[in-house]
A = this chain, B = another copy of it.
């Protein structure tokens, strides 16, 4: 991690050492989420599943980890204001980190983001600028705001400090699995831009160098799986839709894919119905509130697309910020 600012295109990808450093920076501020095991889930899939529920993280998703790691670094460099663009969870992570660090934050959020994500972002004291996902360019809006506010842009995934921060999820998953007397045979993580999975793979594979790590994505947005197969970054077809609002990035990040291409074993994609069924399972049997994007790995194992029989599998539930109306829909109820 050689560069000193957030906007250099020549940044090198982080290493597991950067994940270790991030873990030290976020301690006491990020929640060390527990490692959960469910007899019902284990019985259902015929294996041993270690669940890392980042829905229980500060701000309701893993995004606080990377955001705090990045903003703390920016503050050390003298930066006092940040601008971010996000579908909602990165927005909350940046807003909460800025509030703790007493930095000002402007967040560019699509108008169709879940209401809970918009409300929470504002509740952390950030200024929210809404844009139209179909007609406006969020990066251009963010650039304009950053110039006007003399602020640094905090990208959602293609940044070594963000990647290292999100990687602390994988680091905790590895350490907690070992503490529980387990050894992982595989790990499943959601992939949007690829920050969480690339950083976590660094940490996981520093413990188990040959560990197969798989990307879980919504059908129509399996750009990471397709890019891994092609060994180059490919984009999603236009026009796809998914309820997984946090996993709609059009293409893998440059830095994240450089890491993922080297480390990941492949990917799985799940439909909206499989995601809704996984959310309902989480309600009924895990007693966890999981948002659509957070449920993709669970959907992959419950649908049988990844065979867990006889294996010990680490699985990340990445967030729980879901509107009541959609949650009721997954339960088969009308509000």
B-contacting residues of A (Cβ < 8 Å)? Answer: 31, 34, 36-39, 53, 55-56, 58, 60, 116, 283-290, 320, 324-325, 327-328, 331-335
Bound form: Cα–Cα A105–B36 in Å: 28
Residues from chain B with a CB closer than 8 A to the CB of A53 are 287
Beyond contacts A289-B289, A324-B334: 12 other A-B pairs, Cβ-Cβ < 8 A, are: A39-B58, A116-B284, A283-B324, A283-B327, A287-B289, A288-B288, A288-B289, A324-B333, A325-B333, A325-B335, A328-B333, A328-B334
Which residues of chain B are within 8 angstroms of A60 by Cβ–Cβ distance?
Answer: 285, 287
With A and B bound together, what is the CA distance between A328 and B329 in angstroms? 9
Q: How far is the CA of A221 from the CA of B328 in the complex (A)?
A: 30
In angstroms, how far is the closest chain B Cβ from the Cβ of A172?
12
| With contact pairs A34-B34, A34-B36, A36-B34 given, residues A287 and B56 touching in the complex (Cβ less than 8 Å) | yes
Query: What are 8 contact pairs spanning A and B, CB under 8 A?
Result: A31-B38, A53-B287, A116-B284, A284-B324, A287-B288, A287-B290, A325-B335, A335-B335
State in angstroms the CA–CA spacing of A229 and B316 once bound together: 48
Chain B residues with CB below 8 A from A284, complex form: 116, 324
Q: Is the CB of A320 within 8 A of B56?
A: no
Judge whether B331 and A287 touch: CB under 8 Å.
no
Name the residue of chain B whose CB is nearest to the CB of A115: B335
* Smallest Cβ-Cβ distance to A335: which chain B residue: B332
Query: CB < 8 Å: which of B36, B56, B288, B335 contacts A324?
Result: B335
Chain B residues with Cβ below 8 Å from A31 are 36-39
A331 contacts B320, C-beta separation under 8 Å: no
Q: Contact between B36 and A56 (Cβ–Cβ < 8 Å)? A: yes
Chain B nearest Cβ from A221, distance in angstroms = 23
CA distance A285 to B116 in the complex (A): 10
Tell me the complex Cα distance, A81–B332, Å.
38
Is the Cβ of A327 less than 8 Å from the Cβ of B320? no
Q: Which 7 A-B pairs have the closest CB atoms?
A: A34-B34, A287-B320, A328-B333, A324-B331, A287-B289, A55-B287, A328-B328
Q: Which of B37, B39, B289, B331 contacts A335 (CB 8 A)?
A: B331
Return chain B residues, CB-CB under 8 Å to A285. Answer: 60
Which chain B residues lie closer than 8 Å to A289 at the CB level?
283, 287-289
**Are B335 and A327 neighbours in the complex by a CB distance under 8 Å?**
no
Q: How far is the CB of A316 from chain B (nearest CB, A)?
A: 14
Which residues does chain B contribute within 8 Å of A288, judged by CB atoms?
A: 56, 287-289
Interchain CA distance A60-B39 in the complex, whole Å: 11
**Complex CA–CA separation, A34 to B56 (angstroms):** 11
With both beta carbons as reference points, the residue of chain B lying nearest to A289 in the complex is identified as B287
CA distance A58 to B43 in the complex (A): 12
Q: How far is the CA of A55 from the CA of B334 in the complex (A)?
A: 20
CB of A181, distance to nearest CB on chain B (Å): 10
From residue A295, how far is it (CB to closest CB) to chain B in Å?
12
Bound CA–CA A39/B28 (angstroms): 11
Contacts A287-B289, A288-B288, A289-B289: A328 and B335 contacting too (C-beta < 8 A)?
A: yes
Chain B residues within 8 Å of A37, by CB: 31
Inter-chain CA distance A327–B333, complex, in Å, is 9
